[in-house]
Structure 1
Amino acid sequence: MYRGYEAVIGIEIHVQLNTNSKIFCADSTQFNAADNENTSPVSVGMPGTLPVINKRAVEFAVKTGLALGCNIRRKSVFARKNYFYPDLPKGYQISQYDQPICENGTITFKVGENSKTVSITRAHLEEDAGKSTHQGDFTMINYNRSGIPLLEVVTGPDMSTPQEAAEYGRTIRQIVRYLGVCDGNLEEGSMRCDCNVSVRKVGDPKLGTRTELKNINSFRFVEKAIEYEIERQIDLVERGEKVIQETRLWDPDKNKTFTMRSKEDAQDYRYFPDPDLLPVVVSEDLISKLKSELPELPLARKARFVSAHGLPEYDAEVLTNEIDLANYYEETAKVCGNYKGASNWIMTELLRELNDNRLEITASPIKPAQLGQLIALIDKGTISGKIAKTVFSEMWKTGKDPEAVVKEKGLVQVSDPAAIEKLVDEVLAANAQQVEDHKSGKKKNLFGFFVGAVMKASKGQANPDLVNQILQKKLNG
């Protein structure tokens, strides 16, 4: 609640589908191609060209719709959405209007400790436009992006806080990455968010005039832009001014939104069915096939990690954030049989190294099976946890298996009671005064000093549990 007002928020997320070719022609979708390299007469809108639908784009749309709990329309229709910008040379965009391929779904996610369910009104296929770059009085157009397949996922006006909106966006990104239909790279424009925001007095059933915040490419910016827009609209209403229905852009440097253009309604686009494209007919067999291919989604996987693996909620949240990380954890745990041990090593040692070296989990020089083997060596008592960190460091540098490192470096843990007792006797004999002080109680916390001294004498290879037991017996027996 904001000063007696509440916000009403809906989001449209444009998901760039991860196909090799564009939605209506064979042009490549490679991101880092030279300007206007991935173009053809179809994607630059030459007269007389005809579009042909990309089957994989349709399959990806259906797969995403199923993951979002949508109904899949057996027969959907492409329409022409008429407007002109330099980066849309045909003068219209091929999209879906009144017969979208997916509709009426829901998605549930966590915001802090609370669950939030948001309705998915529709998810429809369309082509992307090109990209304009403004330099002084000139505008340069790159049509490489023109015609890349998009799935536009549209929510109902179900969110009321910037935090809910940002978390919704993160959840959609998680899901499409789990499905493999989009790489979710916001910096490269693979996902872009349009946020519809309005305010009204608490308890007022009538919706206020909404504004659209266009093309936000960061969930942190989604949160900040909505926060700013809510306050801006309340200020207008409080001053007795009207909120204008318009499209606004977020300026992250100035932390404010500004007007881009007046907001069009559906009638402004003069939609009509595209005469060059047949309706898309999705068979029951295809739906069943794609449904069977759906992976375990993040929320379900997190719940399983908590219930079946006994992990804390926090661990499960971190590990399921990315599908590759969740897969790495499961493979590691399968090898060592120690769920919490696998979680601890991944979340501390491995993620630290990956972050420091700016690497993705898939580029880790330590493979899941190798980390699992390292944890198993600790659990069997072959090496201590302290030695394991030295082994891990060497594995990271060389990519070698843990057993090979332990053998090469002579790092096997000493668990022979007689050998450890000999070390303890030597340490106590060399520190007679400290032994006397400990026994007389003159100085506290000397026990830790003796443990450290024994471990140092053993070059960290003595079994810490045995060291503690033998010292207790010698000093306190």
Structure 2
Amino acid sequence: MSNPASASPLVQGYEVVIGFETHVQLTTASKIFSRASTAFGAEPNTQACAVDLALPGTLPVMNRGAVERAIRFGLAVGAHVAPRSIFARKNYFYPDLPKGYQISQYEIPVVQGGAVSFYLGNDRKTVRLVRAHLEEDAGKSLHEDFHGMSGIDLNRAGTPLLEIVTEPDIRSSAEAVAYAKELHKIVTWIGICDGNMQEGSFRCDANVSVRKPGQPLGTRREIKNLNSFKFMQQAIDFEVRWQIEQLEDGHAIEQATVLFDPDTGETRAMRTKEDAADYRYFPDPDLPPLVIAPEWVEQVRASLPELPRAMAERFVRDYGLPEYDATTLTQSPAMAAYFEAVVAAAGTALAKPASNWIMGEVSRRLNAEERDITEAPVSAAVLAALLRRVADGTVSNNAAKQVMDALWAGSIAEADPQAQVDAVIEAKGLKQMNDAGALEQIIDEVLAANEKSVAEYRAGKDKAFNALVGQVMKASKGKANPAQVNELLKRKLG
């Protein structure tokens, strides 16, 4: 585990210190304290019941599914799941908060501690978590299409959130994005969040400060509601530059909440940042303590899938993949499953070629068509059949890409994957020339026609050899086996 404070990169002589608060919308069908739907996109105020509207006499009732998802997260990050936690009222007054307070957790959260590890380049980084607590979302103020007035939509009021808070362990915008991506992968992998940043299911707040190395922590400014990884990096980079300029000009940094404007690429202050005392937290008298039995925790533990970091380490260990490949292939359960299905059909010896093809040709085509790997028209079994033909020398790697074009388009349909691949190779005439006698004849003709290149190679010019290989491949119309060409050429050239 790396020490977050060690070897920190400096910006103009300053150390950047970043902590994260991430609001993860949980995948329950109903809200955290009511039975109203959490479905996205409904007409304003059509999914707000009496509890969400805070009508007199209504009482909150805890959603068991939200608690189960919090337990799943706690176990996934190696945290302590509190056997007893309590809910508190966080008091503030916004038009979209009908009760005048938000039900959250303060002194005793349900998830305590834990860590998220990830790779940034070749360096393994670890960000420690302070806590993750359950709370309800507020409504939404709408300021457009109201003829100069504002409207309130309470459909989101009461939507279940898990707020995940880190220690100030992050030291650059690149680390911040890598952490956020890893956290996003974890919560979607274990099924507690759909991860849709555009719909507000995964919202990040970055607390940013700067200091001279060895000095106490600087005053932080919180960048709210970062809903894309691209904007996250831009916002943090701008905020860091702005804070350094202020300090260099002799100004003090005032604690504040700021917003990032993607159009200008700048942050702007929204309000002075509140402290916990401003919210006047106190235990919610309408909710009893949340008690989680050890048996429930163990049931949830038994239901967890293999986690992405553990799976990536297994891919390195069992398949001999580089760390980069293993991390890329475990971006989603679907991609990891596709890779393992290819290897199961093609054999472990072809794990690295399988990784190359999935990260390269398959991903390139899927990205161009904006499709998920679950929609790939070439199944894992068919890709495995193609890799076998590359491995046994039937087709070259370049010719295999032409085969993939036909397979992707579904131009030839065969029930058996290997028969399908072989039919495409035959129909397109892409079978590699492996007849040593025919190939020797071509090589002899090329050598006779390129005496200058032969002389240059024998005089020590290695580039001449590549030119001769190219001439042989051209004469064979690309069907010669490159490895065989190299071997025969070297033998004939002495």
Q: Give CA deviations for 1:187-208 in whole Å, capped at 9, x if unaligned.
A: 2211111111223332223x33
Tell me: CA distance 1:326–1:417, structure 2 relative to 1, closer, same or farther (3 Å): closer
Question: Mean alpha-carbon deviation: is it higher for 221-230 or for 278-287?
Answer: 221-230
Deviation, 1:369, is: 2.5
Tell me: CA distance 1:31–1:437, structure 2 relative to 1, closer, same or farther (3 Å): same
2:26 is aligned with 1:17: yes
Deviation, 1:415, is: 7.5
Aligned partner letter, 1:292: A
RMSD in angstroms over aligned alpha carbons? Answer: 2.8
Partner residue of 1:118? 127
Q: Give CA deviations for 1:93-136 in whole Å, capped at 9, x if unaligned.
A: 11111111011222222233333322211100011112222126
2:366 is aligned with 1:357: no
Instruction: With the length of structure 1 as denominator, give the TM-score of the two structures.
Output: 0.88
1:308 corresponds to which of 318, 325, 329: 318
2:118 corresponds to which of 99, 109, 115: 109
Structure 1: stretches of 5+ with no match in the other structure: none
Deviation, 1:384, is: 4.2
Tell me: CA distance 1:91–1:450, structure 2 relative to 1, closer, same or farther (3 Å): same
Question: Mean alpha-carbon deviation: is it higher for 52-61 or for 379-388?
Answer: 379-388
Partner residue of 2:387? 375
**Matched residues in 1 for 2:431 and 2:18: separation?**
62
Tell me: CA distance 1:144–1:374, structure 2 relative to 1, closer, same or farther (3 Å): farther
Partner residue of 2:221? 211
**Counterparts of residues 369-448 of structure 1 (less than 5 Å):** 369-398=381-410, 400=413, 401=417, 403-407=419-423, 410-411=426-427, 421=437, 436-438=448-450, 441=454, 445-448=467-470
**Matched residues in 2 for 1:146 and 1:21: separation?**
11
Identity %: 46
**Matched residues in 1 for 2:255 and 2:476: separation?**
75
2:348 is aligned with 1:346: no
**Matched residues in 2 for 1:408 and 1:239: separation?**
69
Deviation, 1:253, is: 1.4
Note if contact 1:197-1:212 (Cα within 8 Å) is conserved in structure 2.
yes
2:257 is aligned with 1:247: yes
2:14 is aligned with 1:5: yes
**Counterparts of residues 12-161 of structure 1 (less than 5 Å):** 12-135=21-144, 137-161=148-172
Aligned partner letter, 1:359: R
Q: Give CA deviations for 1:120-171 in whole Å, capped at 9, x if unaligned.
A: 1110001111222212622233222222211000112222322222222111
Instruction: With the length of structure 2 as denominator, give the TM-score of the two structures.
Output: 0.85
**Matched residues in 2 for 1:101 and 1:465: separation?**
61
Q: Give CA deviations for 1:18-66 in whole Å, capped at 9, x if unaligned.
A: 2222212222222233333333222233332222211111111111111
**Matched residues in 1 for 2:169 and 2:259: separation?**
22
2:220 is aligned with 1:198: no
2:475 is aligned with 1:453: yes
**Matched residues in 1 for 2:82 and 2:430: separation?**
63
Question: Mean alpha-carbon deviation: is it higher for 70-79 or for 180-189?
Answer: 180-189
Note if contact 1:96-1:126 (Cα within 8 Å) is conserved in structure 2.
yes
Question: Mean alpha-carbon deviation: is it higher for 76-85 or for 401-410?
Answer: 401-410
Aligned partner letter, 1:121: V
Question: Mean alpha-carbon deviation: is it higher for 394-403 or for 69-78?
Answer: 394-403
Question: Mean alpha-carbon deviation: is it higher for 248-257 or for 377-386?
Answer: 377-386
Question: Mean alpha-carbon deviation: is it higher for 38-47 or for 123-132?
Answer: 38-47
Query: Any idea what SS the aligned residue of 1:59 has?
Result: helix
Deviation, 1:348, is: 1.4
Question: Mean alpha-carbon deviation: is it higher for 381-390 or for 77-86?
Answer: 381-390
Deviation, 1:272, is: 2.0
**Matched residues in 2 for 1:415 and 1:215: separation?**
56
2:288 corresponds to which of 254, 278, 294: 278
Aligned partner letter, 2:31: K
Note if contact 1:128-1:150 (Cα within 8 Å) is conserved in structure 2.
yes
Note if contact 1:391-1:402 (Cα within 8 Å) is conserved in structure 2.
no
Partner residue of 2:333? 323
Q: Give CA deviations for 1:215-270 in whole Å, capped at 9, x if unaligned.
A: 11122322222222233233333333332222111112112211111222222212
Question: Mean alpha-carbon deviation: is it higher for 304-313 or for 247-256?
Answer: 304-313
Note if contact 1:198-1:211 (Cα within 8 Å) is conserved in structure 2.
yes
Question: Mean alpha-carbon deviation: is it higher for 340-349 or for 157-166?
Answer: 157-166
Structure 2: stretches of 5+ with no match in the other structure: 1-9, 457-463
Aligned partner letter, 1:375: L
**Matched residues in 1 for 2:219 and 2:486: separation?**
71
Aligned partner letter, 2:387: I
